[in-house]
């Protein structure tokens, strides 16, 4: 808008947003065994761990919780927050070679029932990548705002 200047974003926030955009691209690009791609699981885990809240943009998240966590005991299921379900949701749409590892970083239980339920869930629900990115970016912006206020 003319005459109004936007506050400059910190380089860290801009860099993190770029990483989120790249994560979307990587998340939706199939990998083959022959292309020699290396998945940086540590990077994905960093993104998942920095997800602090769920902004209610993923329409099938409750279904994900219900279906994918069916192989987890009731007490553990009740203790899992929606933010953790969001982290699990993101993890199940990553390359199949890293799904179990990512899942176990959030919920230490992964079994045959969970694996089958994840595959069944994914057959009926497309990855809502745009909404995931929107949620991740909002988390980054919220974190940056908290950091700015803490410095003042």
CA atoms of 114 and 99, how far apart (whole Å): 11
Full domain range(s) for residue 120:
41-47+57-151
Give the tens place of pLDDT for each residue, 107-145.
Answer: 999 999 999 999 999 999 999 998 898 888 888 888 765
Residue 115 lies in a domain: yes
Quick one: pLDDT at residue 104?
A: 96
Residue 48, number of CB atoms within 10 A of its CB? 20
Number of domains in the chain: 1
State the Cα angle at 112 between 109 and 117, rounded to 5°. 90
> Any residues with CB less than 8 A from the CB of 24 and at least 6 apart, and which?
129, 130, 132, 133
- Is position 85 within any domain? yes
Let me know: does 21 contact 14? Beta carbons within 8 Å. Answer: no
**28 assigned to some structural domain:** no
pLDDT-based confidence at residue 54 (cuts at 50, 70, 90): confident
């Amino acid at each position: 808008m003319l005459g109004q200047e936007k506050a400059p974003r910190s380089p860290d926030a801009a860099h993190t947003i770029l990483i989120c955009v790249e994560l979307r691209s990587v998340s939706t690009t199939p990998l083959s065994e022959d292309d020699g791609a290396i998945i940086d699981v540590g990077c994905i885990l960093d993104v998942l761990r920095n997800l602090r809240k769920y902004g209610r943009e993923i329409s099938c998240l409750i279904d994900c919780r219900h279906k994918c966590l069916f192989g987890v005991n009731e007490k553990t299921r009740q203790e899992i927050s929606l933010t953790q379900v969001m982290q699990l949701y993101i993890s199940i749409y990553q390359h199949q070679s890293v799904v179990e590892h990512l899942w176990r970083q959030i919920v230490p239980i992964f079994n045959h029932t969970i694996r089958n339920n994840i595959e069944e869930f994914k057959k009926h629900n497309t990855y809502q990548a745009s909404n995931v990115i929107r949620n991740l970016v909002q988390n980054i912006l919220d974190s940056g705002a908290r950091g700015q206020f803490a410095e003042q």
